[in-house]
Structure 1
Amino acid sequence: MKHYIAEKWRDILVFNDLDSYEKVWALKADWFEEPNYRRGGWSGVSRVELKLPLGGSVGVFLKRQEDHVTRTLGHPIKGFSTFAREFNVIRAFQQHNIPSLEVVFFEQWKQDGHQRAFIMTEELSGYAPLSSEDYRMGSALLANEQQKTALFEKLAELLHSMHKHKFQHNCLYPKHVFAKQLAAGGVDLRVIDLEKVKKVLTKKQAMYRDLDTLLRHAKTWSDEDKLAFYKTYQGESYLSNGSQRLWNKLNKK
């Protein structure tokens, strides 16, 4: 798919005069993340406030790129935009009820010999990444075992929802999992940065890669915290022989 506008956002985009790819591409907006120049092109992120027809506003993130492509067996020479890959993953995640981002507008096209694309997603308002001070072990949100258990159970559920469908995130750092506290005392999680997600042959392959990345980069988790999460993921109070072997393999790295 080269063009997509979410129906619920169409009137809002029209109200903000951003209902075509030309208008979005020409939009002047400060960089939220400075452009990244690699893969023969560039890619950058802006945060934009959209006015609502009935008053107020909503934040969205706009990612634009030019000649920033990924090459696969199906596209070995020209490749295709990394945002097209991200868009496809978000749509696949939605089909499998894997909590992630909501796409507002996506477009890819060729102009003057250049491959261009953008993806606009709704801001995760009220969420914070697991790498933030809010979710540092011992913080107000993770001050006791009950709060830790609630987070670990929800995180394990999120990872299971990816891995059972053989999605390997490939970059599962704590900063790419966003959390929001719910009024009932629970927590909602969303996974982001999906440009490198790929389908793999087995659940075990996806599980090993993502657990290895997550546990190595969870800098504020103690060894006991990491083991507690691993047990939660495996659904075991005492590790089976197979789970113990995988745990030993993860710890060797």
Structure 2
Amino acid sequence: MAGEFVVEPDVAPKDRFAYYWSQRGEWVEEPNRRRGGESGVQRIQAASGQLFYFKRQTGHIYRSWLHPFGRPTVLRERDALAGLTQLNIKVPKLIFSGAERDADNKWRALLVTAALDGFDELENWYAAGGREQYGEAVHDRLLAEIALTLARMHQGRWQHSCLYIKHIFVRVTGDGPQANVEVALLDLEKCRRRLTARQAAHNDMTQLRRHSSFSTADWEKLVYVYEKAFGSAIKGLR
């Protein structure tokens, strides 16, 4: 792992991008070419011992009617992190984000977030025996918390746009049926606001159904809580 860094450096705001950009760590997602540039993720440990993830991009942009000439995707992810946090949805804590053009007028962009301590991918939690360890009552509460989290996101008109089960992280702590259940969402690079909550809901929930391994019974439980919290049924979920 790379050398340590200071989370809040004693440097002027105008120099912070250069400071964070200069940090180096181990690649957890090797740079890959897409969207006209490269994007990858490094893991770096701070002097405190806490882990941070650096999404590092060059020329990696998206275009929209607001940004027809292109905008770094990490800035869209930064906006989503802020928006979901305001909705009381657990997401990685934002430490720093920024973008600038290099000497060749190509975008360089960076997003630094803190690791979600104690959280794990939902499928990893299943594979490690979490369901058997905590029992069906806790598992039902976990499904309900996932449903409530997603409904809250969609009511805020945020669409994840890449809602696979691997992007749902969970943390279950304590013992017995009173164990504490928490849910977090990751990989918000494609997350965006929609005109209506129903648009956001339909896209994400049908996508999650296609790209998840929930049993029919578990999916029915999740959808029941989701539609009750969302306020209406979503076509194609059953």
Q: TM-score, normalised by structure 1?
A: 0.81
Match of 1:79 among 46, 51, 70: 70
- Is 1:14 the counterpart of 2:1 in the alignment? no
Contact 1:141 1:147 (8 Å CA) reproduced: no
| Aligned counterpart, 1:190 | 184
Match of 2:45 among 49, 54, 77: 49
Task: Please state how far the C-alpha of 1:124 moved relative to its aligned partner.
Answer: 0.9
Distance 2:201 2:16 in 1: 40
Distance 1:145 1:235 in 2: 21
Distance 2:237 2:183 in 1: 24
CA RMSD of aligned residues (A): 2.2
Q: Per the alignment, do residues 12 and 25 of structure 1 end up closer, same or farther by CA in structure 2, a change over 3 Å counting?
A: closer
| Aligned counterpart, 2:121 | 129
| Aligned counterpart, 1:104 | 95
Q: Which stretch has the larger CA shift, 150-159 or 205-214?
A: 205-214
Distance 1:22 1:170 in 2: 31
Q: Which stretch has the larger CA shift, 64-73 or 21-30?
A: 21-30
Task: Please state how far the C-alpha of 1:176 moved relative to its aligned partner.
Answer: 0.7
Task: Please state how far the C-alpha of 1:11 moved relative to its aligned partner.
Answer: 6.5
Map 1:67-216 onto structure 2 (within 5 A): 67-76=59-68, 78-112=69-103, 113-132=105-124, 134-136=125-127, 140-143=129-132, 144-183=135-174, 185-216=179-210
What do residues 184-227 of structure 1 show as CA deviations (whole Å, max 9, x unaligned)? Answer: 502111111111111112222221211111122222x2111111
- Is 1:32 the counterpart of 2:28 in the alignment? yes
| Aligned counterpart, 1:5 | none
Map 1:212-231 onto structure 2 (within 5 A): 212-219=206-213, 221-231=214-224
Q: What is the letter of the counterpart of residue 14 of structure 1?
A: P
Q: What is the letter of the counterpart of residue 12 of structure 1?
A: V
Q: What is the letter of the counterpart of residue 153 of structure 1?
A: A
Runs of at least 5 residues in structure 1 that lack an aligned partner in the other structure: 1-9, 237-241
Contact 1:176 1:192 (8 Å CA) reproduced: yes
Contact 2:143 2:218 (8 Å CA) reproduced: no
Contact 2:44 2:53 (8 Å CA) reproduced: yes
Q: TM-score, normalised by structure 2?
A: 0.86
Task: Please state how far the C-alpha of 1:34 moved relative to its aligned partner.
Answer: 0.5
Q: What is the letter of the counterpart of residue 232 of structure 1?
A: V
Q: What is the letter of the counterpart of residue 101 of structure 1?
A: P
Contact 2:26 2:42 (8 Å CA) reproduced: yes
Distance 1:103 1:198 in 2: 17
SS of 2:137 mapped into structure 1? helix
Task: Please state how far the C-alpha of 1:20 moved relative to its aligned partner.
Answer: 2.4
Distance 1:82 1:22 in 2: 19
| Count of aligned residue pairs for this structure pair | 223
Runs of at least 5 residues in structure 2 that lack an aligned partner in the other structure: none
Contact 1:150 1:186 (8 Å CA) reproduced: no
Distance 2:6 2:36 in 1: 36
